[in-house]
Amino acid sequence: MEQLIQYQANLLKSINKDFTRYAYSKLPWKSRFLGIKGFRGVGKTTMILQYLKYELKDLSEHLYVTLDHPYFYQQSLYELTEQFYQLGGKTLLVDEVHKLPDWSRQIKIVYDGYPDLQLIFTSSSALDILKGESDLSRRVLIYELGGLSFREYISFVHQVDFPVYTLSEITQNHLQIAAEITAKVRPIALFRDYLQSGYYPYAQSEPTVFFPKKLLQALEVVLQSDINYIYGYTTGNTAKIKKLLGVISESPPFTVNIAAVADKLNIGRSTVSNYLYALHNAGILRFLNRKGKGVAKLQKPDKIYLDNTNLSLVLQANTDKGTQRETFALNQLQHADYTTSLPPKGDIFIEEENLTIEIGGKNKTAKQIQHIPNSYVFADDIEIGFGQKIPLYLLGFLY
């Protein structure tokens, strides 16, 4: 166990609290059993290390481990837990839990066997935590961590802080909110940078020119390793999934014709659906369905987007601007826990607010939604709005 303690000490040297994710203050850190899932590079590891260093403090009672570590080539998680507990351990933070064979069974054994030990773990977005072979649904609290909001990006990169606003506050007070923002920063230029490379925190640690390659490498690991391991897929499956992703990235927002895609890829229709939902669960795709339809396995999504604009621009450099705007809006709304659906008219319906939004450029009018009550246009390339026309970038202040 000494090598794990030394590994933890080395990691903590570079951890600070100059910036913390919005989720940091929201998470139920005192919960006995907490899981955090998210795409590679969104900041899961940094967040739990911040918690370890600044909240737990007494490192003799708390231990961070990653299941990528060579220690676990010969030792099981249970054996480590037993030794750690005997030495007075109180909190075990387990990174990359999806790397553990029979993860749900082993985690459940640790949880049940040491009732006064706190267990916090992270995993890939692709892992369906509640559907492992052991029933964890009544035990674990799950939080899904997305990438940086536009508000967080401004704070992280430019050290200018703004509060979080609800959608209701934005629609009712957007003139005042935009005036406060534009008094401190020039949001249009920052927004362009954010759409290109601002969603993943690690992109800010090196020149922007290297970011596309690193994001593609992360995507490759998710496709080749995480999805294959979690779903039991082979390299043949991965090749088909990549082709499917290529078809989607060429024409988003993609309206699915399952039969046509199945014929093109020479696979069954149910297999296409399985692949779509694997990509959705992995944080690579984002769905928008008609009201009341939900997200059910084998149910055809009405519209498919890539998860975020950074990913869409890496996979398809000439992504249509309209698609970029819709991708951004959907991503920010869903990460802010709003329930979204595809309306008969307009681009997105937000169920909690009974609100319809149309998304476009600065010359976008409300013609398409003019007879719909409680509807707004969110327009790109404007700093200040007017009436029912609101700057698109303000949707980046929801979390």
Give residue-wise pLDDT tens across range 106-152: 898 999 999 999 999 999 887 766 555 456 767 889 999 999 999 99
Last residue of a domain, one of 94, 115, 144: 144
Q: Quick check: 143 and 27 in contact, CB under 8 A? A: yes
Domain co-membership, 173 together with 130: no
Number of domains in the chain: 2
User: 78 and 119: one domain?
Assistant: yes
Q: Are residues 93 and 202 in the same domain?
A: no
Q: How far is CA 121 from CA 34, 67, 186, 304, in A?
A: 6, 10, 39, 30
Same domain? 176 vs 135: no
Amino acid at 357: I
Percent helix, strand, coil in the chain (nearest 5)?
50, 15, 35
Same structural domain for residues 229 and 312? yes
Return the structure tokens found at 356.
């319809």
Q: Residue 115: give its domain's CATH number.
A: 3.40.50.300
- pLDDT, residue 69, reads 93
Adjacent-strand bridge partners of 349: 341, 356
Place 318 in a pLDDT band, splitting at 50, 70 and 90.
Answer: confident
pLDDT number for residue 132: 55
Domain final residue pick, 116, 144, 172: 144
Q: Are 102 and 161 contained in the same domain?
A: no
> How high is the pLDDT of residue 200?
96
Q: Is the domain of 273 the same as that of 393?
A: yes
Per-residue confidence (pLDDT) for residue 102, from 0 to 100: 80
CB 45 within 8 A of CB 145: no
Q: Is the pLDDT of residue 332 over 90?
A: yes
**pLDDT tens digits along 183-214:** 999 999 999 999 999 999 998 887 888 999 99
pTM over 0.85: yes
Which residues face 288 on adjacent strands?
Answer: 303
Give 19's pLDDT tier (boundaries 50, 70, 90).
very high
123 plus 191 within the same structural domain: no
Is residue 65 within 8 A of residue 94, CB to CB? The reply is yes
Position 65 scores a pLDDT of 97
pLDDT at 50 over 70: yes
Q: Say if residue 69 is exposed, middle or buried (CB neighbours under 10 Å; 0-12, 13-18, 19+).
A: middle
Residues 189 and 320 placed together within one structural domain of the fold: yes
Range of the domain at 81: 2-144
Maximum CA extent, the chain: 69
**Mean pLDDT, the chain, integer:** 92
Q: Which of residues 144, 176, 211 is at a domain's end?
A: 144
* DSSP assignment string, 309-327: HHHHHHH-TT--HHHHHHH
For residue 97, which of 82, 110, 112 has the smallest C-alpha distance?
110
Asked whether residue 160 falls in the same domain as residue 128, the answer is no
Axis crossing angle, helix 235-250 with helix 269-281, rounded to the nearest 10:
80
Q: Reply yes or no on whether the pLDDT at 24 is more than 60.
A: yes
321 and 381 inside one domain? yes
Query: What pLDDT, on the 0 to 100 scale, is given for residue 125?
Result: 83
Same domain for 119 and 205: no
Condensed to tens digits (0 to 9), the pLDDT of residues 30-39 reads 999 999 999 9
